[in-house]
Each structure stands twice: as C-alpha cells, then as structure tokens.
Chains A and B, each alone.
Chain A
Amino acid sequence: MVKHWWKIASILLLAYTVVAGFLMSVPRLNILNESIRALYFHVPMWFGMIVMFLVSTIYAIKYLRHPTTKNDILSVEFANTGLYFGLLGITTGMIWANYTWGSPWHGDPKQNGAAIALLVYLAYFVLRGSVDNHEQRSRLSAVYNIFAFAAMVPLIFILPRMTSSMHPGSGGNPGFNMYDLDSRMRMVFYPAVAGWILLGVWIATLRIRIRNVKERILELEDYA
C-alpha cells in the first residue's frame, strides 16, 4: 500500500480532472469558448509524451554506459508509452481542431511538428524491428533514441515559436499563457498534468513487467 500511493494519487487526480474538467466553469474566450476544456486532456498528453521520451532517452544513455537488458527494456517501454501519448495528443488535437478550426488537419506548424516528432519514434521502432542480433539492436536503437531526442527538441520547442500559428497561446490567439489562464483553470490543469504523467509511468511499469516476464520465459525455454 505504501509503495502504491502514487497509483492511487493518479486515479484520484484523473477522476478529479474528468469531473472538474467538465463541470467547473471556464472563462469565456474568443474562438475557444467551451472547447477550452481540451486544455485538461490535450495539453497534458504532450507533457506526458515529453516526460516519457525524456525518461526513455535517459535510460538509453544509461544503456550505453552500462549495457544491461534492464536499461534497454526501460528505454523501449517508455518510448512506447510516449508514442501512445503522442498519438492521443494528435487525436485529441484533431478532434478539437475539427470544431474550432473547421477541419481536423489544418497544416498548422504545431501539428506538422508533432507529426514529424512521432515519425522519429516510429522510425525508432522500425530500426528495432530490422536488427536481429539482440545486443546490436539495443545498442543501435539506444544511439538513435538519443539522436532522435536531440533532433526533436528544436522541432517541438523552437521551430513552432518562430512561425506564426493558429494554435491557442501563440500569435496573439487566446490560450495557455500567464495572462489568460486564470486561477480556476490552473486548479484543474496542474492536477491533470500530474495525473496523466503518473498514469503514463504506471502504464510503462506494467509494460516493463510484462516484458520482463516474457524475457524470463524465453530464458527458461532456452534452458529446457
């Protein structure tokens, strides 16, 4: 019970997010109106994705320093979970864009950047799939993981800020910044971010455990 407090916290935070996110009042902003509630579900996906990919990269670096199966599995599964978050982020963004911008894919710089960032990690899994040797695969994919993360940083954090975008919060559009994210929204937004990230870590740990069990079964079969 003591070890699982954060799982319980995640459930409570997300339950609070869903209830408060749909029921509490939100500020009336131009263009956004009620769709501003996407902030509690769409934006935390990207926060979660970045955290998962960051953890994945850290374990990739760890793998290069100490090549153990454990580091490799952690790196892969966090990348996997990050990819899910990214896909959910794109999907929720498209649903939102369909109502606010009029079409799901608007060719906005942020959409394109997010799509390319996901392609980077899809390429990572293609790379993993195409190498047979176990150790070689772990090493090459760890290198690509670090490289991909370095390439993704300008793509997500720098380039979208240099171009004008219709995304809320940039180019004078109302949205997430310190002036118009008022305190009522903060009360839901921060718990939402924490809750989604905890859920991501939870999913990743489950996947890691399944992966470990599979590895163990393979080992035992080799033995027999």
Chain B
Amino acid sequence: MVSGLVLYLFSTAFICYLTFNLRQNLATPLVWSALFWITILFTAVNSVAKSFIGEKKGRDIYYYSIANPAAIIISKILYNFLLCALLSASGYWLFFLFLGSPIHDKVVFAVLVLLTSMGFASSLTLLSSIAAKANNSTILMAVLSFPVVITILLMAIKVTKNCIDQLGWDASWDELLTLFSINCLVAAVSYLLFPYIWRS
C-alpha cells in the first residue's frame, strides 16, 4: 500500500517536473507551493481514505470484538499522522529533487508539515470511517473532506508563503498556533464522535 502511494507521489512530482521543464523559470515559488499542497492533499486523502474503506469485511468485526472504539480511533489517527508526515517529507524531497525548493525557513516549514499532517490525519480518519459506512465511498470521501480540510490548507498556504519570503518565526507564529488549535479541536471531536459510528 505504501509503495503504491510513493509511486503516486513520484509520478505527480515527475509530471510537474516534465511540465515545468518545457520552459525555464515557469515554476515560480507560489506555483511551487500550489503544486506541492495539491500533491500532498490528494496523497493524504487517498492514503487516509484507505484506513477504513480498504479494510476487509470481517476485520471490522474482529477489531470491534477485541478493542474499544477510543483505542481504535487514537491508533488510527496516530498511524495516519505518521503516514502523512512520511508522505509529506518524501513529497518534499521529490519536489526538491525535480523542481528545486524555494523554501528558505526550513525549520518553520518542517513544523508546518508536521502540523498539517496531524490535521489531515485527525480530520480525514473520522471522515473515512463515515464514508466507509456509506455506500459509494471514494467519491463521498472527497466531497466530505474537501470543506473540512480547506481550513487547514488555508493556514498551510499562508505559512508556506511566509517561509518562501523568509519572514521567520514571528510572521508564522499566529498561523501555526491556529493550525495547532484547529487540530486539537478536530481530534477531540473525532475522539468523541467515533464510538457512535463504530457501533453501527
């Protein structure tokens, strides 16, 4: 599964490289940022969606019988967080390889990527479990996740721009803090609501 996602990332980055190789200086920093976040968003949606939709039929019942829902949602969120962080990191590396990197504040950007992965993981995991219970899962996953995730992406795009412009910690502090609190909010709501989905 992970190798499939890495291939997905690789081909996206490679397509970007092929397109922007046609003419020099086309991949301006802001274009880079847009491409990067589009790639990360779709990889994250694809990977996290698998966490419930991809589960085999019987395994749900098995999990249901051995663990309580709180443990399951927390472990799924943690796993997805690590997965998203890994994918974002390798995504950044691939982009760096093919398109170069306009990011100057590396540390701020690393913190941002971690926080964004956390946000994606905590919001998409619950939505994935909802989508898995409904029938036409994959389309529904995109429809449900888009409006929720966009808050996180707005922050991410703004901080990325700050990182590109070398504005340092002071400029991005507010956004990072907001992102962190949104993550906490979403994770707490997921934790509280998950038992109700799990039961059905």
Contact = CB atoms under 8 A, between A and B. Distances in A.
Interface of A: 64, 116-117, 119-120, 123, 126-127, 130-132, 135-136, 139-140, 142-144, 146-148, 150-151, 153-155, 158-159, 162
B193 interface: yes
B140 A126 contact: yes
Contacts of A139: 196-197, 200
Given A123-B146, A140-B134, A147-B127, 15 more contacts: A64-B193, A116-B147, A119-B147, A126-B144, A130-B140, A136-B133, A139-B196, A140-B130, A144-B130, A146-B189, A151-B148, A151-B186, A154-B151, A155-B150, A162-B178
A139 B199 CA distance: 10
B60 interface: no
Contacts of A140: 130, 133-134, 197, 200
B115 to A, nearest CB: 14
A143 B140 CA distance: 15
Given A136-B200, A150-B189, A154-B151, A119 B146 contact: yes
B135 A64 contact: no
A166 to B, nearest CB: 18
A49 to B, nearest CB: 15
Interface in B132-146: 133-136, 140, 143-144, 146
A139 B185 CA distance: 21
Contacts of B133: 131, 136, 140
B111 interface: no
B186 to A, nearest CB: 7
B134 A143 contact: no
Q: Is the interface of A mostly helix, strand, loop or mixed?
A: helix
Contacts, number: 85
A144 B196 CA distance: 11
Contacts of B175: 162
B95 to A, nearest CB: 26
B134 A135 contact: no
B141 to A, nearest CB: 11
Interface in B107-164: 123, 126-127, 130, 133-136, 140, 143-144, 146-148, 150-151, 154
A-B residue pairs, 10 tightest by C-beta: A120-B147, A119-B147, A151-B148, A150-B189, A131-B134, A143-B193, A123-B143, A130-B134, A64-B196, A123-B144
Contacts of A131: 133-135
B165 interface: no
A153 B148 CA distance: 11
Which of A132, A143, A153, A155 has the most C-beta atoms of chain B within 10 angstroms of its own C-beta?
A143
A148 B147 CA distance: 9
A151 B178 contact: no
Contacts of B151: 116, 151, 154-155, 159
B182 interface: yes
A63 to B, nearest CB: 9
Given A126-B143, A136-B200, A151-B186, A116 B150 contact: yes
A151 to B, nearest CB: 5
Contact of A162 (B147, B150, B174): B174
B70 to A, nearest CB: 15
Contact of A120 (B130, B140, B148): B148
Nearest to B158: A163
B14 to A, nearest CB: 31
B39 interface: no
A127 B130 contact: yes
